A and B are shown apart, each in its own frame.
Chain A
Amino acid sequence: MTTHATDHQAAADTVGSIGLRLDDVTLTLGDGDTAVTALDHVGLTVAPGEFVAVVGPSGSGKSSLLAVAGGLQRPTSGTVHIAGTELTALSDKERTAARLRHIGFVFQQSNLLASLTVREQLLLPLHIDRRLDTTARARADELIEAVGLTHRAGSRPHQLSGGERQRAGLARALMTSPAVLLVDEPTSALDRVRSAEAVRLIAEQTHERSTATVMVTHDTAIMDAADRVYEMVDGRLS
């Protein structure tokens, strides 16, 4: 495991401090006899524009990897860097701000807000950040077009198909031009054809917008689009 971490350390140096870098990250959940090691000395570096897929069975620690990389959870040990900032050194408040500005999440089944139209879903992060202006609106329209939802911009989640929701979720994640894009089981609600389409779109946007993208999935059929594929077993990455 140590060798892995060192390899990635070397890789990180070549891409500078931009992108995502996890160094020797361990996450232990619970304590005493019930303690579970969700992440076991994980090292991972993703350069801007790179699309990394992490596959593994459920319970292997994939979601924990996203939680730690996305600043939702503090690792027990190790460090996480995002766009040159050490995420693990920030206060809770600063981490929340970092999530807003530098990290894009695409959640399982996309997780849209029921009362907002597709366009409003995209505008919300900028409203939270008090940056809702004409530039933001133009960017929302541009992203909606990029994911092919222009005809659906005024629709609410319950009027959308699973695939459309997934694309709206992706567009929302890209709204703040994040350095890192984290994707959780994007295909869990989609059939085979749509899964392939969704992942192709993620790959396309990753390359076009230079995000450091990590996608976790248990669906091994959709890995082709990724630049690199890791396997996760019992909290270890290989």
Chain B
Amino acid sequence: MFLALRDLRFARGRFALMGAVVALIAVLGVLLSGLASGLADAGISGLRALPVTHMAFDEKATSEQFSRSTVEEEDWQAWSKAPGVERAEPFGNTLANAQVTQGAKKGERVNLAVFGMAPDSSLAPRPSKGEGLKEGGAGIVITREIADLGVEIGDVLTADRSGVRLKVVGLVGGTVSYGHIGVVYADLDTWRHLHYGLPGDLPEAASRQATAVALTLKPGADVAVVERATGTLAETKEATFDASPGYEAESSTMALIKGFLYVISALVVGAFFTVWTVQRKPEIALMKALGAPTGYILRDALAQVVAVLVGATALGTAVGLALGSAMIGKAPFSLSAPAIATSSGLLIVLGTVGAVVAVRRITAVDPLTALGATR
């Protein structure tokens, strides 16, 4: 880095400009990563929190299965007896509207993503405050998103259409949402009232239904037979994220924007170092004429590339983190260390790839051109 460092200092204006571009891209990278994880949290954190490995949906529902699939009691019973299945439990999922009818925020309207499950199943929430679900009590456990609206334990919400009274009995901390709506946990019958919008007693048929069978499968379990017998299809928990509304579109848009950013950054870095290397040709010829091996000059140039990229990316990431922290709570935004490390790392790696293509020109410079007359 004998020459590289001194060139950096000497041509600091030019390097600062290029570094600023990389730094700004790093800022964008952090913000996009934060937005992507924020959107993912808002979209599927409720699903992610479920202690299952797979979900089995009605095979006739091929997209947005959480809204379209219905399974019957026989299905989860068949699943629980199938080989390789550790646990199979009914899971209900629906979106509902309600109004606070008792509590500090009386009159406030709330949107709910209702997760229904048997109170004694593994899916049932473990509240950090208050109590858990009880069979037949119409008690619900709310999550932070709903609590942030001012709803408290002891409040009563009344659901639209069915008019079911939902008493808040417990609270789960952390981000738990589904389709950008805060999750509430309810027992299966309460869930059915909300799902079908039915007051009073449930019809016989409805009381044996759920949205999906929540499964815990042993590794390598072959479930083809039970799938055929029940007319259901099991998907991994991660694959069910795409079944939640809007999630696939959001995450692929983010991935596309990020992909373009990395390509743009690699091209900017490549273009800069191409011009820089071409400008430096007489100096490179001189160094070779003085007896510098090509490897020495290449190492020097690459060290410079990496120094600039690491410096600019570190600066941009720091600025992005500062901006991002200010955005938490105001936008679907969350800072996840692995996502940010990947984003910044890719920026450095792809930038280096772009620069390597440019810096390779050093190999072709003829030391003879250092002699005046042959220039």
| Real binding pair | yes
Stretch at the interface among B86-94, B136-144, B219-227, B282-290: B282-290
Stretch at the interface among A13-21, A65-73, A79-87, A223-231: A65-73
B73 CB to closest chain A CB, in angstroms? 79
Residues in chain B near residue A63, CB distance under 8 A:
371-374
Once the chains bind, are A107 and B291 in contact (CB under 8 Å)?
no
Once the chains bind, are B286 and A111 in contact (CB under 8 Å)?
yes
Within 8 A of A (CB), among B351-375: 367-368, 370-374
Q: Which of A70, A73, A99, A128 contacts B296 (CB 8 A)?
A: A128
CA distance A70 to B290 in the complex (A): 10
Q: Does A40 contact B (CB under 8 A)?
A: no
Once the chains bind, are A128 and B290 in contact (CB under 8 Å)?
yes
Q: Which of A114, A120, A123 contacts B283 (CB 8 A)?
A: A114
CA distance A111 to B7 in the complex (A): 16
CB closest residue in chain A, given B294: A96
Q: Which of A58, A99, A103, A120 contacts B6 (CB 8 A)?
A: A120
CB closest residue in chain A, given B366: A72
Residues in chain A near residue B293, CB distance under 8 A:
93, 96-97, 128
Q: Which of A101, A116, A184 contacts B3 (CB 8 A)?
A: A116
Q: Does A108 contact B (CB under 8 A)?
A: yes
Q: Which of B6, B7, B288, B371 contacts A107 (CB 8 A)?
A: B371
Q: Which of B3, B11, B374 contacts A67 (CB 8 A)?
A: B374
Q: Does A185 contact B (CB under 8 A)?
A: yes
Q: Does A51 contact B (CB under 8 A)?
A: no
How many residues belonging to A are interface residues under a CB distance threshold of 8 Å?
38
CA distance A99 to B290 in the complex (A): 6
Residues in chain A near residue B283, CB distance under 8 A:
113-114
Q: Does A238 contact B (CB under 8 A)?
A: no
Contact with A along B212-223 (1 / 0, CB 8 A): 000000000000
Once the chains bind, are A128 and B291 in contact (CB under 8 Å)?
yes
Q: Which of A72, A93, A125, A184 contacts B367 (CB 8 A)?
A: A72
Within 8 A of B (CB), among A195-214: none
CB closest residue in chain A, given B4: A115
Chain B interface bracket (under 10, 10 to 19, 20 to 34, 35 or more): 20 to 34
Q: Does B9 contact A (CB under 8 A)?
A: yes
Once the chains bind, are A125 and B290 in contact (CB under 8 Å)?
yes
What number of residue pairs across chains A and B have CB atoms under 8 A from each other?
Answer: 88
Residues in chain B near residue A96, CB distance under 8 A:
288, 291-293
CB closest residue in chain B, given A99: B291
CB closest residue in chain A, given B373: A63
Once the chains bind, are A73 and B372 in contact (CB under 8 Å)?
no
CA distance A55 to B296 in the complex (A): 35
Q: Does A124 contact B (CB under 8 A)?
A: yes
A192 CB to closest chain B CB, in angstroms? 20
CA distance A200 to B282 in the complex (A): 28
Residues in chain A near residue B372, CB distance under 8 A:
63, 107-109, 184-185, 188
CB closest residue in chain B, given A100: B291
Residues in chain A near residue B10, CB distance under 8 A:
114-115, 156
CA distance A66 to B371 in the complex (A): 8
Q: Does B2 contact A (CB under 8 A)?
A: yes
A217 CB to closest chain B CB, in angstroms? 11
* The 8 A-B residue pairs with the shortest CB-CB distance in the complex, in nearest-first order: A100-B291, A115-B10, A108-B372, A63-B373, A99-B291, A115-B6, A127-B2, A128-B292
Tell me the A residues contacting B by CB distance below 8 Å: 58-59, 62-63, 66-67, 70, 72-73, 93, 96-101, 103, 105, 107-109, 111, 113-116, 120, 123-125, 127-129, 156, 172, 184-185, 188
Other than the given A96-B288, A124-B287, A128-B287, 16 more pairs (CB < 8 A) read A63-B373, A97-B291, A100-B290, A105-B289, A107-B289, A108-B372, A111-B282, A111-B286, A115-B3, A115-B7, A115-B9, A115-B10, A120-B2, A128-B290, A184-B371, A185-B373
